[in-house]
Chains A and B, each alone.
Chain A
């Protein structure tokens, strides 16, 4: 017994090393497996506050760029409003039709921290659960897709950027309507890949890619990017498609967080249908 204690004492530094390493590795595995159960993130109140201060200090330097983005978004909104035709006969809409009800609500949030050059990139927003942001909501910028809310605290939210391999968004080619998945495997923050589009589909450079909107996270038709190259992989039944992302994630200053107001209703219907 005494020998055991002497051994443990002599090996105490190696044992401490092994214990700390095991702790780090278990955090690493758990943090990636159970996305909900992670407190170690920049949505934490203290870290969020530090990032908010940093953002306040650097905000002045970016005001010109932010104004430009807002002006473009406003112009696009005007465009959209004026191209919609007025409803000729309002009585046609008298029945209660869920497709006419408001389906999505958009909350504005400020980006207070973001990275684009890591293998997995995260964005911290300066609004959290007090503003109505919840995990799994979609996040879109003025020009296109940004990411999905991963974790929230009362005043901050952590967003998993599309620049990372943690999930694949369901998207479609606007022209032909064919579906595919968006994956970020290029390592370049301005491009991504569109996978799972079968070879018989004709895809051309310049085609627009938009969200499919079947996941209860993003509305359909949110711009994602444009196809810049279509490559042939002889060993695979699908194309390799490079997409230039329409949102420049290294500049995004304000985003919209999307709430799908009908998600609960849809989920409960689908859950009921899948029961025996």
Chain B
């Protein structure tokens, strides 16, 4: 239990710094693709995380990003929405006899199809909120939509890559 908490604290710090110091500075497709890999932290929380903790962690994660990108409330709102979406998705996708307490929400334990549904929905939810709040208006609706979806695809690829790179033993992911 203590090891799990410690590993998640380390993952939180690592992902926020990776996002703020590396990923935010990538110049992909003239700014049309901005992967937000830091949301992997919320996706990878253990199944038995209490709902209130998921919501509070989502808010904390978003605020940490907001401090780095000087956008008060923008990432926080997206992450709180995503945390709430995660609670709904977990209920929707739950196996009949509940989640195996030894498993984690990742590709190794849950399979690719389950993971793509679960993580894909959450990433799209987060990115849509973030990109539409960022532009703050609804003209050029389709270009914003396209940017959000392209970035969501990039985030998904990075999530899968991150899991391919971390071994089965590394349970923090």
A residues adjacent to B (C-beta < 8 A): 12-13, 16-17, 20-21, 23-31, 38, 40-44, 47, 50-51, 54, 115-120, 122, 158, 187-189, 250
Given known A-B contacts A13-B87, A17-B84, A115-B24, A28 and B133 have beta carbons under 8 A apart: yes
The interface bits of chain B over 107-126 (1 if a CB of A lies within 8 angstroms of the residue's CB, else 0) are: 00000000000000000000
Whether the Cβ atoms of B31 and A189 lie closer than 8 Å is: yes
Closest A residue to B26 by beta carbon equals A117
**Bound complex: CA of A119 vs CA of B17, how far in Å?**
21
Whether the Cβ atoms of A27 and B31 lie closer than 8 Å is: no
Whether the Cβ atoms of B21 and A17 lie closer than 8 Å is: no
**Bound complex: CA of A158 vs CA of B66, how far in Å?**
14
Find A24's partner among B24, B30, B73, B136 (CB 8 Å cutoff): B73
**Bound complex: CA of A42 vs CA of B69, how far in Å?**
7
Number of chain B residues whose Cβ lies closer than 8 Å to a Cβ of chain A: 38
- Contacting residues, chain B, for A189 (C-beta < 8 A): 31
CB distance from A59 to the nearest CB of B (A): 14
Find B55's partner among A20, A29, A250 (CB 8 Å cutoff): A20
Whether the Cβ atoms of A42 and B72 lie closer than 8 Å is: no
CB distance from A163 to the nearest CB of B (A): 10
Closest B residue to A29 by beta carbon equals B73
State the 7 A-B residue pairs at the shortest beta-carbon distance, nearest first. A117-B31, A27-B73, A28-B73, A31-B72, A24-B77, A41-B70, A40-B72
Whether the Cβ atoms of A21 and B80 lie closer than 8 Å is: yes
**Bound complex: CA of A168 vs CA of B30, how far in Å?**
23
Stretch in contact with the other chain, from B1-9, B56-64, B93-101, B163-171: B56-64
- Contacting residues, chain A, for B63 (C-beta < 8 A): 40
Find A20's partner among B72, B80, B136 (CB 8 Å cutoff): B80
**Bound complex: CA of A13 vs CA of B30, how far in Å?**
40
Whether the Cβ atoms of B52 and A250 lie closer than 8 Å is: no
**Bound complex: CA of A165 vs CA of B51, how far in Å?**
38
- Contacting residues, chain B, for A40 (C-beta < 8 A): 63, 66-67, 70-73
Whether the Cβ atoms of A16 and B55 lie closer than 8 Å is: yes
20 interchain pairs (CB within 8 A)? A13-B55, A16-B56, A17-B84, A20-B55, A21-B77, A21-B80, A24-B73, A24-B76, A25-B73, A27-B66, A28-B73, A29-B73, A31-B72, A40-B63, A40-B66, A116-B31, A117-B30, A119-B134, A187-B31, A189-B31
Q: A17-B55, A24-B76 are in contact. List 11 more A-B contacts (CB 8 A).
A: A13-B51, A13-B55, A16-B52, A24-B80, A30-B72, A40-B67, A40-B72, A51-B21, A117-B27, A117-B30, A118-B134
Given known A-B contacts A21-B77, A50-B21, A187-B31, A38 and B59 have beta carbons under 8 A apart: no
**Bound complex: CA of A23 vs CA of B136, how far in Å?**
18
**Bound complex: CA of A30 vs CA of B76, how far in Å?**
14
Decide yes or no whether B154 CB sits under 8 A from chain A. Answer: no
- Contacting residues, chain A, for B55 (C-beta < 8 A): 13, 16-17, 20
CB distance from B83 to the nearest CB of A (A): 8
Whether the Cβ atoms of B25 and A115 lie closer than 8 Å is: yes
**Bound complex: CA of A276 vs CA of B135, how far in Å?**
41
**Bound complex: CA of A117 vs CA of B34, how far in Å?**
8
Whether the Cβ atoms of A38 and B72 lie closer than 8 Å is: yes
- Contacting residues, chain B, for A20 (C-beta < 8 A): 55-56, 58-59, 76, 80
Decide yes or no whether B68 CB sits under 8 A from chain A. Answer: yes
Closest B residue to A55 by beta carbon equals B21
Decide yes or no whether B153 CB sits under 8 A from chain A. Answer: no
